[in-house]
């Protein structure tokens, strides 16, 4: 029970803090997969993000810059972040039924660039 509560409250807490850098600028944030998420839940969240959620999942298709590594977690992280960056100023969150979390570490790698929208 306590673990479930923490998985729910911790991402919400991160979203409300919005830490500022010196000079009044907000820190850059990306939305990534919570590594503890079961694959079944992760797949459901990825499907929602790419379909009803409005994330642009074209870059995780075969031959595209974010296809490799070809793992559920990598593809979900890209889709979650795409959704979050597009909709965070319109009420969208990085929650995905507790499958995701906010990070200050840029998850971009090789030719796969994760967008950041200030």
Residue-wise pLDDT for 58-88, tens only, equals: 999 999 999 999 999 999 999 999 999 999 9
Sign of the torsion formed by the C-alpha atoms of 18, 89, 118 and 45:
positive
Report percent pLDDT > 90 for the chain: 77
pTM higher than 0.85 for the full model?
no
- The two structure tokens encoding residue 55: 């994330």
- The two structure tokens encoding residue 87: 């909709």
Task: Give me the pLDDT at residue 12, please.
Answer: 47
First to last CA, the chain: 35
CA-nearest of 44, 17, 31 to 81 is 31
Report percent pLDDT > 70 for the chain: 78
């Amino acid at each position: 029970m306590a673990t479930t509560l923490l998985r729910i409250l911790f991402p919400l807490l991160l979203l409300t803090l919005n830490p500022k850098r010196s000079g009044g600028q907000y820190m850059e944030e990306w939305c990534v997969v919570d590594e503890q998420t079961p694959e079944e839940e992760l797949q459901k969240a990825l499907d929602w993000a790419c379909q009803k959620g409005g994330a642009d999942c074209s870059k995780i298709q075969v031959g595209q810059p974010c296809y490799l590594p070809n793992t559920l977690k990598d593809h979900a992280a890209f889709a979650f972040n795409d959704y979050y960056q597009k909709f965070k100023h319109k009420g969208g969150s990085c929650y995905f039924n507790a499958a995701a979390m906010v990070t200050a570490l840029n998850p971009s790698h090789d030719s796969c660039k994760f967008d950041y929208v200030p």
